[in-house]
């Protein structure tokens, strides 16, 4: 396992630092002379996981984030066992678990009638805010041999391992990781064929206060509740307690409909979900964005020394809560395939894709089908096929049980 690198050497990174950033300005310690070096574009969940997992395996890593601040723009997240296992593998599990929650049930309602009530007492899972998850992962990156640059955009990459920054500077690496999201510069500059599929629906996601006092004393307000309505129009609210204080709430509606408008229109949601009035009133003032569901499938995930991971490679709909999870699994496994350093990077990247990609492909297909058919509304997604990904032991992660999980055995009311 890696500690902090001690040998201070190539000041090249200091000169690449964008002005003004405290991290960027920090003089750089880059360990050993013969360390293999990775340039990673994008400090989201995929990029952070790859950075930590590579550094743990002795690589020196530079992580570029084009935004000014490091952080998560998302609202909340449901983490299943595979994602929690990746967190443990990169050392972030305990910290992430601290401010997380496991609801007693995952409930599905149609027109406010319960159609499914899942205790998930054999599947460890947790909810949390995305910011909390991000902070837990970033804390793992800090002490490792990872140079984190903000305001630093990778504008293009080449299969030989060259990356060009927004500043115009070009750097050579043994490995380039494009973890730069659905609009990936790395992907589009290297030239991969992208097949995009947009669904008819999308959703607005935000964090609002739990409003427990106002919602009422019923125990079910601790559940995840997926409130579906098909009449008089298709609108759905995904209600996810993320911890004692924060509610992660998703407003799903067809693209272009009134339900897709941000800030949300109170009357559009209140007439179908009057029992959620306190949180709807909060949601009117919360920042949010409507995102149409989208799946992207590439002809390949790697070319030469370049590997794509996360939404850059395999954006998926969130029906199975596997977007970030697959991003993190693939980033971890990528580092496992890079164990031992820079020899044969190209061949090992191909092996990585060949072995690791099929599960993600299946997950994307299943998730897209659930989304297209609005099938989560039936609450019938808990079966061995659809749970395959959540129950998968990620390459590079331990199969040991997660400490403290399952968190509680729910009692049927």
Q: Which of 61, 13, 33, 29 is nearest to 335 (CA)?
A: 61
* The binder of ligand 5PR chosen from 63, 252, 268, 390 (CB under 6 A): 252
Answer yes or no whether residue 238 interacts with ligand 5PR by CB under 6 A: yes
Residue 229 φ then ψ, to 5° = -135, 130
Answer yes or no whether residue 318 interacts with ligand 5PR by CB under 6 A: yes
d(CA 335, CA 150): 22
Interface map 368-397 toward ligand 5PR (x if CB under 6 A):
--------x---------------------
Q: Contact region for ligand 5PR (CB under 6 A) — 42-50, 269-277, 317-325, 344-352?
A: 317-325
Question: Could you write out the DSSP letters of every residue in 355-402?
Answer: HHHHHHHHHHHHHHHHHHTTGGGGT---STTTTHHHH---TTS--SPP
Closest distance of CB 212 from ligand 5PR, Å = 21
Closest distance of CB 369 from ligand 5PR, Å = 12
Instruction: Give the number of other CB atoms < 10 A from CB of residue 248.
Output: 25
Answer yes or no whether residue 321 interacts with ligand 5PR by CB under 6 A: yes
Give the strand pairing for 106-110 and 224-229.
Answer: parallel
Of 40 and 252, nearer to ligand 5PR (C-beta) is 252
What SS3 state is found at 336?
Answer: helix
- Check residue 338 and report its DSSP letter: T
Closest distance of CB 350 from ligand 5PR, Å = 32
What SS3 state is found at 193?
Answer: coil
* The binder of ligand 5PR chosen from 2, 38, 63, 78 (CB under 6 A): 78
Angle between helices 81-89 and 323-337 (to 10 degrees): 40
Q: Contact region for ligand 5PR (CB under 6 A) — 131-139, 175-183, 191-199, 315-323?
A: 315-323
Q: Contact region for ligand 5PR (CB under 6 A) — 137-145, 301-309, 314-322, 353-361?
A: 314-322
What is the binding site for ligand 5PR (CB under 6 A)?
78, 203, 205, 238, 250, 252, 318-319, 321, 376
């Amino acid at each position: 396992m890696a500690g902090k690198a001690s040998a201070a050497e190539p000041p090249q990174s200091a000169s690449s630092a964008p002005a003004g950033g405290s991290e960027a300005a920090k003089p750089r310690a880059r360990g050993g002379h013969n360390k293999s070096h990775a340039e990673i574009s994008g400090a989201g969940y995929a990029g952070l996981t790859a950075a930590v997992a590579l550094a743990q395996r002795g690589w020196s890593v530079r992580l570029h984030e084009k935004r000014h601040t490091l952080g998560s723009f998302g609202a909340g997240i449901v983490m299943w066992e595979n994602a929690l296992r990746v967190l443990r593998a990169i050392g972030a599990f305990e910290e992430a678990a601290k401010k997380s929650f496991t609801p007693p049930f995952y409930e599905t309602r149609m027109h406010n009638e319960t159609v499914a009530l899942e205790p998930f007492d054999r599947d460890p899972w947790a909810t949390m805010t995305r910011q909390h998850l991000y902070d837990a992962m970033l804390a793992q990156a800090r002490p490792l041999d990872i140079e984190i640059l903000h305001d630093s955009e990778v504008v293009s990459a080449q299969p030989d391992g060259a990356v060009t920054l927004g500043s115009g500077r070009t750097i050579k690496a043994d490995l380039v990781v494009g973890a730069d999201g659905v609009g990936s510069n790395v992907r589009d500059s290297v030239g991969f064929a992208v097949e995009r599929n947009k669904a008819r629906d999308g959703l607005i996601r935000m964090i609002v206060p739990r409003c427990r006092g106002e919602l009422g004393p019923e125990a079910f307000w601790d559940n995840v509740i997926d409130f579906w309505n098909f009449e008089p129009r298709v609108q759905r609210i995904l209600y996810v307690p993320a911890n004692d204080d924060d509610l992660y709430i998703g407003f799903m509606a067809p693209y272009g409909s009134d339900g897709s408008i941000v800030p949300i229109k109170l009357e559009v949601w209140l007439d179908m979900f009057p029992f959620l009035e306190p949180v709807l009133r909060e949601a009117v003032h919360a920042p949010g964005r409507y995102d149409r569901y989208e799946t992207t499938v590439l002809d390949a995930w790697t070319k030469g020394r370049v590997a794509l991971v996360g939404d850059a490679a395999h954006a998926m709909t969130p029906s199975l809560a596997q977007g970030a999870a697959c991003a993190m699994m693939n980033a971890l496994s990528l580092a496992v395939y890079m164990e031992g350093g820079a020899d044969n990077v190209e061949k090992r990247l191909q092996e990585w894709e060949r072995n690791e990609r099929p599960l993600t492909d299946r997950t994307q297909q299943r998730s897209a089908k659930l989304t297209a058919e609005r099938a989560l509304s039936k609450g019938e997604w808990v079966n061995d096929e659809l749970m395959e990904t959540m129950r998968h032991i990620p390459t590079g992660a331990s199969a040991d049980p997660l400490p403290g999980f399952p968190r509680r055995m729910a009692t049927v009311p």
